[in-house]
Amino acid sequence: MSPESQLILFISGFEILKYLCFYIFNATEDSYNTVAAALHSVFVIFGSITFFYTNDLDIQRIVCIFSTAYMLWDVRSLYLIKYKYFTAMMFHHWFAIVCLFSVAKFQPRGLKYCALLLLTEATVPMNSIRSFLEKNGYTNSILYTINRWLLLITWIFFRLYLFIYFFRWSSEEWSTMTSDMMVMYGIGPFLLLFNVAGLFKMVLVGFPWFPKSDKKVS
**Mean pLDDT, rounded, of the chain:** 86
Segment holding 109, helix H or strand E: none
Residue with more model confidence, 83 or 215: 83
Closest CA to 115 of 156, 58, 69, 32: 58
In this structure, how many other beta carbons lie within 10 angstroms of the beta carbon of residue 27?
17
Q: Where are the domains of the chain?
A: 3-203
The reported pLDDT for the residue numbered 77 is: 83
Instruction: Return the DSSP state at 176.
Output: G
Q: Pick the range with the lowest mean pLDDT from 26-35, 87-96, 126-135.
A: 26-35
Closest CA to 150 of 167, 168, 133, 163: 133
Find the Cα–Cα–Cα–Cα dihedral 25, 30, 33, 38, rounded to 10°. Answer: -80
- Asked if 156 and 196 touch (Cβ cutoff 8 Å), the reply is no
Instruction: Return the DSSP state at 157.
Output: I
Direct distance between the N- and C-terminal alpha carbons of the chain, in angstroms, rounded to an integer = 52
Residue 216 has pLDDT above 60, yes or no: no
- Asked if 140 and 217 touch (Cβ cutoff 8 Å), the reply is yes
Instruction: Return the DSSP state at 110.
Output: G
> Cα separation of 3 and 62, whole Å?
8
Model pTM above 0.95: no
